[in-house]
Amino acid sequence: MTKIKAVLFDLDDTLYDHRFSSRKGLERLKNNFECFREIPLDELEKEHLKLLNEIHLSKVLAGLCTIEEARKERYRRLFSKYGVKADTQLIEEARLLYSTAYRGNQRAVPGAIELLQRLKTNFKIAVISNNFGVEQKSKIDVCGFGKYLDAVVTSAEVGFTKPSPEIFLLALEKLKCSPDEAVMIGDSWESDIIGARNAGIRAIWFNRYGNKSPEPSSVVEVDSFLPAENISSLIV
């Protein structure tokens, strides 16, 4: 059996708790705008995430608009969904409220730091993310991940997005190891699990919220990084 030399991680909702921060931002919107007040947080979150993913993938990563333009479009469409035609002032107010709450509630996923500490003694570690370097570096800095990472590869910098195998292979090139010497850990089945498979890398699905597996028993699945020794024992 080939010895594993590297562990690749997704960032958002794998190491960095994006969902926690985002829900804090959405709670702030619910508390400040009448049109959102009676909407269940789970429903508002689902609609917000749908818009975020749609605009981010189709426009931002495609180079058709900036992150700031995408954010404004996201709020415009979120207001429209709940019956409000938002002007520039209302959109900016919502953006600032969400952003302030989001940035004030940033944190690592429980167990992420402990896992990185444990893995660092035996493996090279990289983050692979469908986003911009500046955006992701800020999250890495806030959570203190940087000292554990040997490489950070973002789609905006390399020109490929997960699940394309190229972004995974570029990360492996930086770590100087082959696909059979690496393991990928991520929360997105399509981007992380299928993407790793496309690149010939074994994957571990971080299924923190108990989503139904598209292919039961086809990959190792974990719902927590605690205790860290349980996860590290899977990387052999």
Domain C-terminal end among 68, 85, 103: 103
| 1: confidence class by pLDDT, cuts 50, 70, 90 | low
- Per-residue pLDDT, averaged over 159-166, amounts to 94
137 and 222, same structural domain?
A: yes
Collapsing DSSP states into helix, strand and coil, what is residue 12? strand
Which positions ≥6 away from 185 have C-beta within 8 Å? Answer: 7, 8, 9, 10, 14, 192, 203, 204, 206, 231
Q: What is the DSSP string of 162-203?
A: TTSHHHHHHHHHHHT--GGGEEEEES-IIIIIIHHHHTT-EE
- Report pTM: 0.94
Residue 121 shares a structural domain with residue 35:
no
Q: What is the pLDDT of residue 126?
A: 98
Residues 154 and 203 in one domain: yes
87 and 114 fall within a common domain: no
Q: Is residue 1 part of a domain?
A: no
Q: Are residues 153 and 53 in the same domain?
A: no
Amino acid at 104: G
Are 200 and 194 within 8 A, CB to CB?
no
What average pLDDT does the segment 54-64 reach? 79
Residue 223, pLDDT > 70, answer: yes
- Whether residue 198 sits in one domain with residue 117: yes
Question: Are residues 224 and 124 located together in one domain of the fold?
Answer: yes
Average pLDDT, the chain: 95
Alpha carbon distance 50, 57 (integer Å) = 11
CB 67 within 8 A of CB 60: yes
Using the 3D structure, point to which of 103, 128, 146 is the last residue of a domain: 103
Do residues 52 and 98 share a domain?
yes
Q: How many domains does the chain have?
A: 2
Regarding whether 114 and 96 lie in a shared domain, the answer is: no
Tell me: the pLDDT tens digits for 116-147?
Answer: 999 999 999 999 999 888 999 999 999 999 99
Of the ranges 62-76, 83-97, 124-138, 199-213, which one carries the lowest mean pLDDT score? 62-76
Supply the pLDDT for residue 171.
98
| pLDDT over threshold 90, residue 57 | no
Last residue of a domain, one of 87, 103, 119: 103
Q: What is the pLDDT at residue 124? A: 98
Residue 195 is part of which domain span?
A: 6-17+107-232
The pair phi, psi for residue 206, each rounded to 5°, is -90, 90
Q: Which residues, listed in sequence order, are joined to residue 131 by a DSSP beta bridge? A: none
